[in-house]
Structure 1
Amino acid sequence: MPPSRGADASPAFSTPDQVPKMTAKTPPESTESLWLRRCVIMSFWAVAICLGLPMWWKTTAIYRAELPLQAMTDWADGKMCKPVFPLRIAIEAPTLPEQDAQHLLQTTQHALDDLNEFSAHHLRLMLTESPLTPNISQQVVTHHGLGTRSNDEDIALSIRLIPVETGATPRSQLQPYAPTLDVYYTHNQLPPPSSTSSPLATSIAHELDKIFAEEQALLAYLLSTTSGAHAAKMKSLSPGTFTELERQSTRALKYAPTYHLTFSLFTPTSVPSAWEIESALQRYLSPLLESFSAISNFTVDSQVQLYAGFSPSIRAPEYDEAMQAWTLRKEDLSGFINAAEWPLSPSIGHGPTVNFVLYVPDQSQSPLLVKENGGNSWLVPQWGGVLILNPASSQTPTTLTKDALAPAMHSFADQLLSLLGLPQSPASFPLRLSTLKRVRAASLIFSASSTMGALARLTRQLESIPVPDTVARSVDSTMAHLQQSCDLLRDGRFQGALEHARNAESEAEKAFFERSMVGQVYFPDEHKVAVYLPLLGPVAVPLIMAALKELKSVLPGRRR
């Protein structure tokens, strides 16, 4: 009888090998779900690539306006403008026959050409039919027999031939307040028709060469210190002349359309507490500032500071028995200005500030002089001037009158001329002003051209900085003004050349210091990665991992 199979019955499989393995298998994924998952992943990638990437590229793209980089580089290298300075010299000879005057003009011109060593700066002699006066706007002149019309403001110098019977001849005299050279001669000193030289022509040529010698040196120094390759024949400068011109350039202020003049009265006590500065400026300085109106404009203010002490960095004044005065050492003059306590603002308004300090010492330390030279004034390069006004009476006045300020105003005027870079010769002030006008026009052309070259190099080297349309317009305006200024220089119209050169410098600075460009220069690529990584990382990681997983599942099937 077979055994019964109850609850205690033993299993039918007596060995472990006979026990079947019970493993749970996931049902195979259907083809529809597989393709659905893949479509979802591809749709995310499609949105990221076709929509997200273009939007990111469009919203983060850097706009770079087209710039004439090659033309900008050519301006910086001096290939677009070869500066020349033709000066028109008008000769007035009303008592001479036209044929003799023409022969004298040609003889003098040949003598001038032989003396000239600087081809960029040359003098053109012209014969006038009537005396040149400031009230005549246009005059008929004859250049080597050819009648041309010129503005009187384009005449650099007027030569008046005056026949005399007594005195040493030929002799010349330059008018101090007019661009006029009076030449005295006798009739037997005129060149014969068959002669190519004469003492009168040689004398005039040497006098003109001496008058414009410093201007030629200034322009030659300016051309030699610029990086442009200029084809003009350079005038050789002696080491002493070059050193002196370099000292003058480091002392003078950089050119600006507007300067701000600040006149300050400082005293260590309570007197003087007032000064007639407005009347003094109106009488002694306003005519000088008006004469510079064609070159620069000026704004003026004044201030009074009582109980102003010396700077603690200098030694106290010492009494000198030999000079019978209190003295300051020359090495202490650089620290005389107490910048910590004296209210001297270095920048007021848009233009550079020129400070003029009038210091009235205490009666117990008066007179106060400089020990080495016994002077009472000195110039601070590219800053201003200082003058110590020692009261003439035994008691310091409470108010400085206009007459008492006259020495200080004259000293400040001389210091201002030095700071503005006015040449020291010739003796005629209008000629010195016209020289400064030509030098400033040339320096502004070189400065604007150099700025254009720097902007072109910056644009090429840093491709990540934006170039807005305002920069492109400023560059176009700069080059247009540069070309007009160069053309006016070539025509001898120096006032117009200065105005266009001033506009070119302003537009060049505006283009180079564009705010958006300057800010982007200091935003390197590492900063961009630091900004984008926290934003794109959480989005990119799931998409990349899903794509890799799908690729891993696809590749084994293709291999089988």
Structure 2
Amino acid sequence: MSGRESFDPIQRATVLFQHDPLRVRIIASYLAIFVCCAPAWWYLTSITRLPLPTARVEQLGWTEDVKFPLNIAITRSSSDERVRRSNEAEVEHALHARIQHADPAWHTLDVRISSAEGQLANENSTDTFIVAIVDYLAGASHLVGDHTLSLAGDSANASQIIDLLQELLLPYASRRHEVDQQRVAKYSPRYRLAFTLLNEDVSTSGFHSWEIQEAIQDYLEPTLKQLRSLHEFEIETQVQYFAPLGFESERRADDEGQQFHALSSEELKVFVNSAEWSLASSVSADPVLHFILFVPSARHSPTHVINSQGNAAQSNAFIIPQWGGIVVLNPSTPHGQQLDVHTLLPVFKTFHKHLQLLLGISGIPRGTFHVPTSSQPLTKWQLSALQRWRTLENVREATDALRSTIKLIHRIGHLPVKEDVRTFVNAALDDLDELRGALARPHASLARAFDAARDASVHASSAFFHPGMLAMLYFPPEHTYAVYGPLFAYVGVTLLSALVREIQRVRKEREQNHRRMEKDKGRKEGERSE
């Protein structure tokens, strides 16, 4: 065996690993990488929280006291100026008495009452309605026109005028409206109107088609045209040939002994068979209002909706709150090829009533005769009342959304607030300022106020439901620790322990060197003394 020492790779690797300068450089390289990457990691993982106009949001208390300018012009057939002035004073006094007695219905209106001559000049800038007191009305005590209210002079008094004006101008403040409001769909700038001919079993009884386009054009299009200042409508139609009910209706007999299938109030709640009926024909985020014409099969014909007394209802239709309306049509013959426009007339009269209820359109007060002055189905009374109600609704939603956004961001510190969120908030506040200006006399505009309130609601909702905020809403800091803990625990503990050992080694070497130097110093001093 050669005297030269044999090469041992394991021993060589151990020697290199235990080489102090190399080990220090390895640890330093890890630390350098961490220090260099820390700014980039901090930048990429930091949450942007731009400041929001909190002060402007806190000053939105004025939205709880929005008032709509409105002019009421009183005319009388009498040519006596003193009589006209007396009528104005009586109505104005009665109106102020209602307001002073804390009637909340009138607090949303800024009403001015005067003669027609003084108000008609401003008819285009503000809502102007005319109360005409005439000597005689044939067959009625009061008539309602497009923007007029006519009353017989012998039966008209200030209190009655105020009561009628309240029903026409403020239908959303009545108790009856509170009940109807539960049926009204939530406001949306766009609606999809889905018309469906639903045959329970067309092989036994039903219709293969219907003249739906002509019926919509003749019976609904005038109303939809008037409502396009508030909503956009997309219309869909379909025919289904087999749509069985999810229950078996009860068989009853009427007073004449005729058998029929009854739909009780409990069965109406589960009438829509969502499991087997495919009513949605397109994918869209817009809310859908359904209008269904249901044709029962021969086995279930005739089918009638019964009222609370257990008798067949005259309309044979019902409404599902915030969803749509359904009409049950019992065909006169078992098989029909097509429903023509004439046959659809009573059906679409009912659909028209359902549409008004679902959109929150008020009716004419009971006991009042409507005398249309044009071909438009809705009066200015109805449209203006609807615009005011929807404006108030949008203002409340915009204000609540803005306040909730500020409160949520202050409460949850890790929610990001990026530039687009701040843009939405500022846009909503600007829209509310625009609303305030649109309601200021003398150039008030209800249409402009409604548009501003609608835009404010859309912008405020976009800020509150921003995807960037919602993504972090349910991601608390504990989840961050759970992500970074397993990722950096092994590397961090290993690097930290190596750094601690290296510090201990350096301190130990310094102590040994210090003791060695002290020992050498003592030996040298001993040698000198000898």
Q: TM-score range by the shorter chain?
A: 0.7 to 0.9
Judge conservation of contact 2:75–2:84 (CA < 8 Å) in 1: no
Which range moves more in the overlay, 455-464 or 402-411?
A: 455-464
Instruction: Give me the whole-angstrom Cα distance separating, in 1, the residues matched to 2:184 and 2:493.
Output: 64
Q: Are positions 1:402 and 2:341 aligned together?
A: yes
State the match for 1:173 in structure 2. Answer: 142
Give the aligned partner of residue 73 of structure 2. Answer: 90
Structure 2: which 5+ residue stretches go unaligned? 1-18, 371-377, 516-530
> What letter matches 2:192 in structure 1?
H
Q: Name the SS for the 1:344 alignment partner.
A: coil
Aligned residue in 1 for 2:261: 327
Aligned 8 A contact 2:78 2:84 in 1: no
Q: Do the aligned partners of 1:174 and 1:181 also contact (CA within 8 Å) in 2?
A: yes
Which residue among 373, 382, 389 is the counterpart of 1:432?
382
1:381 aligned residue (314, 321, 346): 321
How far off its partner does 1:284 sit?
1.1
Matching residue within 407, 415, 418 for 1:465: 415
C-alpha deviation, 1:107, in angstroms: 4.3
- Secondary structure at the aligned position of 1:511 is classed as helix
| Aligned pairs for 1:181-220 within 5 A | 181-185=149-153, 203-204=157-158, 206-213=160-167, 216=170, 218-219=172-173
Deviations along 1:327-373, whole A, 9 cap, x unmatched?
Answer: 22412122222212222119753421111111122345432212423
Q: In the superposition, relative to structure 1, how do residues 167 and 481 fare at CA in structure 2: closer, same or farther (>3 Å)?
A: closer
Counterpart Cα distance in 2 of 1:422 and 1:111: 27
Aligned pairs (5 A) from 1:353-502: 353-371=288-306, 372-375=310-313, 376-391=316-331, 393-426=332-365, 427=368, 429-430=378-379, 431-491=381-441, 492-502=444-454
% of aligned pairs identical?
29
Distance in 2 separating the partners of 1:108 and 1:527: 66
Give, in whole Å, the separation in 1 of the partners of 2:429 and 2:327: 44
Name which of structure 1's ranges 276-285 and 203-212 shifts more when overlaid on structure 2.
203-212
Letter in 2 for 1:141: Q
CA distance in 1, matches of 2:282, 2:322: 13
Aligned to 2:8: none
Specify which of 133, 141, 158 is matched with residue 119 of structure 2.
141
**2:183 maps to which residue?**
251
Cα deviation, 1:163-192, whole Å, max 9, x if unaligned, reads x4x689xx963324x111224549xxxxxx
**Judging changes above 3 Å, is the alpha-carbon distance between structure 1 residues 217 and 364 closer, same or farther for their aligned structure 2 residues?**
closer
Q: TM-score, normalization: structure 1?
A: 0.74
2:108 pairs, out of 120, 123, 127, with: 120
Q: Which residue of 2 aligns with 1:310?
A: 245
CA apart distance, 1:217: 6.5
Say if 1:174 and 1:123 are closer, same or farther in 2 by CA, change over 3 A: farther
**Structure 2 contact 119–128 (Cα < 8 Å) conserved:** no
Unaligned runs of 5+ in 1: 1-32, 130-139, 143-148, 187-198, 220-236
1:112 Cα offset (Å): 2.1
- Report how far residue 310 of structure 1 moved: 1.7
Cα shift at 1:386: 1.0
C-alpha distance in 2, partners of 1:184/1:217?
A: 23
Q: Distance in 2 between matches of 1:527 and 1:167?
A: 76
Q: How many aligned residue pairs are there? A: 466
Q: Is the 8 A contact 2:116 2:130 kept in 1?
A: no
| Structure 1 pair 325–483 and aligned structure 2 pair: CA distance change class (3 A) | farther
- Residue number in structure 2 paired with 1:159: 131
Distance 1:348 1:252 in 2: 23
Shift of 1:499: 0.7
Separation in structure 1 between the aligned mates of residue 231 and residue 488 of structure 2, nearest angstrom: 56
Matched, 1:522 2:507: no
Residues 83, 490 of structure 1: 8 Å contact kept? no
Query: Partner of 1:405: helix, strand, or coil?
Result: helix
When structure 1 is superposed on structure 2, of 514-523 and 468-477 the one drifting more is 514-523
Which amino acid is 2:130 matched to? Answer: S
Question: Partner of 2:236 in structure 1?
Answer: 301
2:46 paired residue among 38, 50, 61? 61
Mark the CA change 1:114 to 1:101 in structure 2 (over 3 Å): closer, same or farther: same
Letter in 1 for 2:182: T
CA separation in 2, counterparts of 1:106 and 1:79? 30
Task: Kindly indicate whether residue 12 of structure 2 is the aligned counterpart of residue 48 of structure 1.
Answer: no
Q: What does the per-residue CA deviation read over 1:104-154, in whole Å, with 9 as the maximum and x for residues that have no partner?
A: 43443223212333433342113333xxxxxxxxxx638xxxxxx524362
Task: For 1:120, give the aligned amino acid.
Answer: T
| Structure with greater helix share of residues | 2
Amino acid at match of 1:326: F
Q: Which amino acid aligns with 1:181?
A: L
- Output the amino acid matched with 1:113: H
Supply the distance in 2 between the matched residues of 1:34 and 1:367 (Cα, whole angstroms).
Answer: 99
Contact (CA 8 Å) 2:191, 2:233: kept in 1 or not? yes
Shift of 1:215: 5.0
Relative to structure 1, the CA distance from residue 447 to residue 370 in structure 2 (aligned partners, 3 Å threshold; closer, same or farther) is same
**Does residue 1:150 correspond to 2:122, yes or no?**
yes
SS of the aligned residue for 1:510 comes to: helix
Distance 2:195 2:480 in 1: 51
Q: Match of 2:428, SS?
A: helix
Task: Give me the whole-angstrom Cα distance separating, in 2, the residues matched to 1:477 and 1:88.
Answer: 31
**Structure 2-normalised TM-score?**
0.78
